Structure 1
Amino acid sequence: MTASTSMSHHEAVASIIVTARTSLPGLVERVAHRIRTEIPCYAAGDVVAPADLRASVRANVDYILDSLAGTARANLSAPDATGRTRAAQGVPLAEMLTAYRVGVAELWSALVTAARGLPGVPADDVIELAGAVFAAQNSYSDAALAAYRDEAREILRTQERERAALVEVLLSGGAAKGTLWEVANALRLPLDGAFLVIAAETQPGHDPIPRAESALAVIDVRSVWRLDAEVSLGVLSLPDRSRNGTVLTVLDKHATHRIGASPIFGELHQAGWALQLARLALGSNSGDTGVAQFRDSPIDILVAAAPHAALETARAVLGGLLELPEEELNLLLGTFEAWVRASGSANAAGAELFCHPNTIRYRMRRIEAGTGRVLANPGDVAELVTAVRAWRELPHS
């Protein structure tokens, strides 16, 4: 490059651009080849097809050359289209920007080659052209980045709506077998295994278990969620039943409100039934936060199958006990449950509750007097066990 033949800066730039355009097809091929060779996401061609890549490279090279020529300062359609398309294709943002840097590097090399072949182009004009190329690169990057993020947010919102609808189908319990398979496949859940349904109390617009999905993933538990105005519902897939305690501990750690959990169940089509139990556990959770799990026993399951009838039966069986102050009633019911766990032994129940066996016997006599049942009668004991379970497990006024 010499300054023997004088030309203006704009004339020099225009000459360089015109010369570079004569080799544009080869430039596009070089850029596309480098991108496919150097960036893994583009290599296979199944994410971004070769023809799509070449068309995108051509559009963006044209955009930069037009920008340098002063004809595309307000037209950002090419980088906008690239950003949106790559987001929709699932190309990582970093790799999209790397592909663009590769393209700009090849374009600059072509511009320098064109300048060297032209007589009378001052070196200062080439230096100024470099600044214009970098400015165009920044403008392009900003436009492509904004479009990518906007499209990615829209895709995420769409996916969240779709996933919430799939979770609703799962929890409704009415999906046909084929539909259930499709839903499970879309949510990446097995049809058989070890499952939990979670119902968490919430406030409008606030997730009651922040970071639950990622925290559960750490312990190899897959979860899908649906957030409503009053409750957040989740279906959890555990590696095995032994993880139940660990899952409840994780949920309790991250909970900001009360949580109800179903018992472990083995078939995904039971999710609708498990949701009822999780809601019942939530209703019986008397704390401000923490997890209450519905007990997995035949009596509890039968109680949950007809909750209204179970509560009416409990009122009839417990009778006069329900007239006692709540603290005193809970003391007697807790003593009865300990006595049942101790197989009717006052000594063992007293050891569990840290009180004298005679205190246990006194409380049991009060239960007999208040209910009219005789604890020596197995039938009466069965009625009391069912009534106490219903009263303790089901929400009531």
Structure 2
Amino acid sequence: MERIIEEIREDLARRLARAADRLADRTLAEDPAYAAQLGRAELRERIHRSLRQAVEGLVRSSRGLPVELADARAAGTLRAEQGLPLAPLLRTYRSGGRLLWTALTEAVASHDRAALPRLLPGATALWDVVDQMTDAVSEGYRSTEAARTDRDRERRAALLDALLDGAAAPAGPAAAEAAAEAAARLGLPERGRFAVVVLAADGSARPAERPTAAAGDLRVLWRIRAEAETGLVELGHHPLESVRELLAPLGVRAGVSPIVEAPAELARAYRLAALALRTAPESGGPRTALLDEGLPAALVAGQTELAGRLRQVVLGPVLALPVEDRRLLLTTLGTWLACQGSTTFAAQRLYCHRNTVSNRLRRVEQLTGRSLSDPRHLVELALAHAAVVQRIPGPHAPRGRADPK
């Protein structure tokens, strides 16, 4: 193979120059992006160089030497850096391989037609060289694209952090301007309808399963943070309730902030979503808590020291009971509150007679010294019960844990 190429080298060089011209014109017609990035002259020169390198690859291969692939790998890298698709570049390399084979056969036939059979084994070698070059192009492209994707992901994470933490600038006009800039770089509008979602760390769904969009213009930008996984939701025209519908398939506990209208308000929304998460039930019913649907429970969650004191002062005698008695009375109280004070409905949920519910509630009243018919006492009992459900420890509980329910 090396001897054949040496015999036709001058004629082959002329034919490769013409092939480079034809392939450059064809490539520009099929992929105008090349013209914007390189221009015809540079594109033609790169094609011509790759054709010559393929010929040299044939020679090196016949000697048992590796094909030089640095330029092919660099071509893939450049294509990725320019943000252009890979397929047209691979198509150009394969088209170049076909043109090269045509140029080889024509040059051999012109030199000595009887030598054509000697060229046939070179077809396999040529396509092996072309395959190695296209593989190198793909390798350079994909490694560069992966690095760029990582950088883009890191930039997006930093922008989301700036919005959720409100740390881009001190409070005031500068903070609003910095938040608007971060939002713009994330593709978010200056004014809109936004909410923040915080997922409980005990969720079993993998991050790849997180929904990023729903029907219409609702979309979510997710961020895995040290304390919890967080989503910034652009609601568009959707109601806030649609966030609960979006998260329902995940089966994880979640807190959702109220709607805010400007990027500068997202840091506050994040804090409120984290607060809402603390009110989300661990079992039974919807596991996504919208802050505005549970403001009393959120008030308890936001004032843990006072909530712990309230818990102990109001429900201390109940909490001092043996475990089974305590659980029975607290469950009955919580169910009665959830049923809006209906003894009948509470009994249905608890699978017992309504008189049994009444008797348990009277015992709560006796132990706490508070009447469920007194609005002030009822508020105290409801908030204290919320503190128990949230496992906020009383003032005498060991640090870092709550008394068992």
Q: TM-score, with normalisation over the residues of structure 1?
A: 0.79
Aligned to 2:70: 77
C-alpha distance 159-265 of structure 1, shift in aligned 2 (>3 A): same
Give 1:43 deviation, angstroms.
Answer: 2.6
Matched with 1:62 is 52
Equivalence for 1:249: 248
Instruction: Provide closer, same or farther for how the CA distance between residues 224 and 324 of structure 1 changes in structure 2, counting only shifts above 3 A.
Output: farther
**Uncovered stretches (5+) of structure 2, i.e. residues with no partner:** 169-174, 394-401
Aligned to 2:187: 188
In structure 1, the residue matched to 2:254 is: 260
DSSP-derived class of the 1:70 partner: helix
Q: 1:369 aligns with which of 363, 366, 369?
A: 366
Q: Which has the higher contact order (CA 8 A, sep 6+)?
A: 1
- Is 1:171 the counterpart of 2:170? The answer is no
Q: Within 2, Cα distance between the matches of 1:277 and 1:196?
A: 8
Are residues 198 and 212 of structure 1, via their aligned partners in 2, closer, same or farther at CA, if it must alter by over 3 Å? farther
Q: Is the CA contact (8 Å cut-off) linking 2:77 and 2:140 kept in structure 1?
A: yes
Question: In structure 2, which of residues 106, 128, 131 is the aligned counterpart of residue 138 of structure 1?
Answer: 131
Determine if contact 1:13/1:125 at 8 Å carries over to the other structure: no
Equivalent of 1:98, from 91, 95, 101? 91
Asked if the contact 1:223/1:234 (under 8 Å) is kept, the reply is yes
**Aligned positions of 1:162-241 closer than 5 A:** 162-175=155-168, 176-190=175-189, 191-201=191-201, 208-213=205-210, 215-217=211-213, 221-228=218-225, 231-238=228-235, 240=238, 241=240
Find the residue that maps to 2:120 and give its secondary structure: helix
Deviation at 1:93, TM superposition (A): 3.5
Secondary structure of the residue that 1:192 maps to in structure 2? coil
CA 1:117–1:189: 2 relative to 1, 3 Å: same
Q: 1:60 to 1:355 in 2, by over 3 A?
A: same
Is the CA contact (8 Å cut-off) linking 2:196 and 2:230 kept in structure 1?
A: no
Please tell me whether the aligned partners of residues 365 and 371 of structure 2 are also in contact (alpha carbons under 8 angstroms).
Answer: yes
Task: Report how far residue 315 of structure 1 moved.
Answer: 2.7
**Contact conserved, 1:200 with 1:208, CA < 8 A, in 2?**
no
Change in Cα spacing, 1:136 to 1:179, as seen in structure 2 (3 Å) is same
Q: Is the 8 A contact 1:32 1:57 kept in 2?
A: yes
In the alignment, the residues of structure 2 paired with residue 376 and residue 218 of structure 1 have an alpha-carbon distance, to the nearest angstrom, of: 45
Q: Is the 8 A contact 1:223 1:235 kept in 2?
A: yes
Q: How far has the Cα of 1:122 moved from its partner?
A: 0.6
Could you say which residue in structure 1 is the equivalent of 2:399?
none
Paired residue type of 1:136: V
The superposition leaves residues 179-209 of structure 1 with CA deviations (integer Å, 9 ceiling, x where unpaired) of 2223223333455325341234269xxx852
> Which residue number in structure 1 is paired with residue 20 of structure 2?
28
> 2-side partners of 1:202 and 1:36: how far apart?
54
Deviation at 1:144, TM superposition (A): 1.7
String of CA shifts for 1:111-146, please: whole Å, max 9, x gaps: 333333324661123323323321210221222222
TM-score, L = length of structure 2: 0.78
Q: Look up the match of 2:267.
A: 272
18, 32, 37: which one pairs with 1:43? 32
**Runs of 5+ in structure 1 lacking a partner?**
1-8, 253-257
Letter in 2 for 1:57: I
2-structure distance, mates of 1:334, 1:46: 73
Question: Structure 2: which amino acid aligns with 1:132?
Answer: A
Contact kept in structure 2, 1:202 and 1:208, CA below 8 Å: no
Q: What letter is aligned with 1:217? A: A
Q: 1:386 is matched with which residue? A: 383
The percent identity for this pair of structures is 28
**Matched residue type, 2:233:** L
